[in-house]
Amino acid sequence: MEVFQEYLDRMDSPDHRNRTEEILAWVANTFPNLVPLIKWNTPMFSDHGTYIIGFSTAKQHLSVSPEEAGIAHFADDIARAGYSATKGLFRIPWNEPVNYELLEKMIEFNRLDKVQCSTFWR
């Protein structure tokens, strides 16, 4: 995904870069109708001009942001997966497996919940 290449190239850790690229590719392949983009130096995906999910990297984890509504809706699933969360994001430690089932449910939730949304954010 060319749109993310510059972002990925700036990552210092090859392991973190590979993992991030794997997750972004999974989203693009699983949801081919989503639009990949970079905004605010953050890789994200949108649908009909509205935000669906975004990712950012930190030293110890990858942050995933499905907006506050997604975090609230999936709070129990996030906790069961062993991820820590704030009001707007949850963290996948670099040394922990990615719960792709949870990501898929969050993306599907946002796509359906925001089908009538005409703004970028809720």
* CB atoms near residue 107 (< 10 Å): 20
Amino acid at 39: K
Q: Does the residue 78 lie in any domain?
A: yes
Determine the structural domain holding residue 25 and report its residue range.
Answer: 2-111
pTM, rounded to two decimals: 0.95
How do residues 10-67 score in pLDDT, each as one tens digit?
A: 999 999 999 999 999 999 999 999 999 999 999 999 999 999 999 999 999 999 999 9
Q: What is the DSSP string of 59-70?
A: SSEEEEE-HHHH
By the 8 A CB rule, do 38 and 93 touch? no
C-alpha dihedral, 97 to 31 to 42 to 65, nearest 10°: -60
Q: What is the CATH number of the domain that holds 57?
A: 3.90.1150.200
Q: Does the residue 119 lie in any domain?
A: no
Tokens 């639009």 label which residue? Answer: 35
Give dist(CA 9, CA 69) in Å, integer: 31
Q: Residue 120 above 80 pLDDT?
A: yes
Amino acid at 75: A
Total number of domains constituting the chain:
1
